[in-house]
Amino acid sequence: MSHEEEKVKVIDARGSYCPGPLMELIRTVKQSNIGDIIEVWSSDGGSQRDIPKWTEKAGHEFLGVIHEKGYDRIRVRKTR
Amino acid sequence: MKRILVVGGGTGGTIVANNLAHRLHEKLVKGEIEITVVDSSSLHVYQPAYLLIPFGIMHRNEAIRPERDLLAETIKFRQERVNKIDVNNRLVKTDSSSLQYDFLVLATGAQPDYSQVPGLEKGGYDFYTLENAYKLREAIGKFEGGRLVVAVTGIPFKCPTAPMEFAFLADSYYSKLGVRDKIELDYLYPLPRPFTIPNVAEQVQKLMDDRKIKTDLLFNVESVNPEKKEITSIEGETIKYDLAVLTPPHTGSEVVRVSGLTDKGGWIPTDRYTLHVKGYDDVYAIGDATDLPVSKAGSAADFQAAVVSTNIWDNINGFPPSLRYDGRVMCFIITAIGEATILLFDYEHPPSPPPPNFACYWYKLVYNRMYWTVTAKGLLPGFGV
Ligand SMILES: Cc1cc2nc3c(=O)[nH]c(=O)nc-3n(C[C@H](O)[C@H](O)[C@H](O)COP(=O)(O)OP(=O)(O)OC[C@H]3O[C@@H](n4cnc5c(N)ncnc54)[C@H](O)[C@@H]3O)c2cc1C
């Protein structure tokens, strides 16, 4: 993951529980432009499982997960 | 004199006020304490009835009571709309008065917000208001066959189990009428499983498979086309329907938003244990209005009401707070007419529901009646546990 930080839209959903982070991601993807990278910060373990599934179904690109202390940074690119 | 002000006389607000009125009866009679409930409506609605009205299992007269009759006589009731809550100056403004408080309890609930999904209101039916529950009753009665779609169009919403219960009830209702084979039942849900809690979702999926209720998962409704009778998802799918029962997205009450008391989703940031509105020791929030990571359910409001009324009583009597909310929620899932299971869970313990059975269904129907005489009266807050 070597995207320039300024191009990444960050959603800080730490402290929000399933399905909060996924719902916030979907809302943000809807409002974004094709090519935008969205990074969800989530402390809910379920996000790592649900977000890739949603990304695949919705036809966007799952870019990966960075594990931080107490939360994960999950990146997605809007592709359509 | 200490003034306790409750904004919202629905499930949570009524239980807090009534429970405090029992415990503080003498002080109320002596005029040392005042409890006021403010609600824009003079009527108290038992909303779980909305799910059962379409199937003729409950009726209008079982769903509504005058709020004044439910509240203890020592409680002041004002039927006024609250327009502004100023927590820095301890002042609540209504259409006709300015009310000051020493303790404020916010229990303003959640409401459907049809505007979030284009075509939603025209395109389908729902059971989120009394009027709509009756319209739906007529529609399912007249439905002669085709595709019946039950969809969740936004999370969070009131009573997370209600849409799947509707699907199970529809399956059961049409089976009993002997016409189930003429109906295709389709359940659309935003997540990769048919319910938020994974272990419960597994059981629900199995039941839906057994009952031939098709599940379309990761289906986040983008719009509804009432003319073409189509539902389109953000993920790019389109599903046709003959009858659609659509759970609308929800939002908090406008007054808490315009008073600057909410997060960007419209919910009140609430301490998950003390139930204080974050940053204010004299203000509590309970029930659907909060951002708590629990179901928007009357039982959650009831458990929270027990904590708040106890801790206000403690404060008035010079004791430290003696209860913490542990995230407890109790939900029934009706899985057929005559069959239900029960979920009991908290922040630390996921539910482990028993297999669906008649006893749970019977208890749910009895509870619907007990709500008026026990729960709303504040006689057994938090179910006594
Ligand atoms: C179809 C359906 C089925 C359900 N089934 C179940 C179930 O089986 N089990 C369960 O536990 N829960 C169930 N619920 C959920 C339950 O009804 C709610 O969670 C519960 O009512 C929440 O209580 P509350 O006090 O937070 O809000 P409410 O009971 O909604 O009360 C909010 C009150 O605030 C008032 N208010 C709001 N704004 C203002 C203002 N500006 N001025 C004055 N007054 C205001 C409103 O008029 C209202 O009376 C169901 C709900 C629905 C819709």
* Interface touch B235/A30, C-beta < 8 Å: no
Domains of chain A: 3-77 (3.30.110.40)
User: Which domain CATH number covers B86?
Assistant: 3.50.50.60
Mean pLDDT across the stretch B236-263?
A: 97
Mean pLDDT (chain B) is: 96
- Measured by CA distance, the residue closest to atom 30 of ligand 1 is B109
Question: Closest to B220 (Cβ–Cβ): which among A26, A46, A53?
Answer: A26
Question: From the candidates A8, A9, A14, A18, which is the catalytic residue?
Answer: A18
Residues B43 and B83 in one domain: yes
Residues B129 and B27 in one domain: no
Residues B90 and B58 in one domain: yes
Residues B94 and B140 in one domain: no
Q: How far is B236 from chain A (nearest CA, A)?
A: 7
For residue B275, give its domain range.
2-109+253-329
Residues B258 and B244 in one domain: no
pLDDT tens digits, one per residue of B157-184: 999 999 999 999 999 999 999 999 999 9
Q: Give the pTM.
A: 0.95
Of residues B74 and B385, more confidently modeled: B74
pLDDT tens digits, one per residue of B93-102: 999 999 999 9
* Interface touch B236/A50, C-beta < 8 Å: no
Q: How far is A20 from chain B (nearest CA, A)?
A: 8
Query: Which of B195, B218, B223, B267 best probes binding to A when mutated, by most A CB atoms within 10 angstroms?
Result: B218
Residues B135 and B238 in one domain: yes
Please determine, for residue B384, whether its predicted confidence score (pLDDT) is greater than 80: no
Residues B85 and B139 in one domain: no
Give yes or no for a contact between B335 and B207, defined as CB atoms under 8 angstroms apart. yes
Separation in Å, CA B102 to CA B19, B75, B275, B282, B315: 18, 16, 16, 7, 11
Euclidean distance between the first and final Cα of chain B, in Å? 31
- Measured by CA distance, the residue closest to atom 41 of ligand 1 is B82
Give yes or no for a contact between B219 and B188, defined as CB atoms under 8 angstroms apart. yes
Domain boundary among B248, B277, B306: B248
Please determine, for residue B36, whether its predicted confidence score (pLDDT) is greater than 70: yes
* Interface touch A18/B196, C-beta < 8 Å: yes
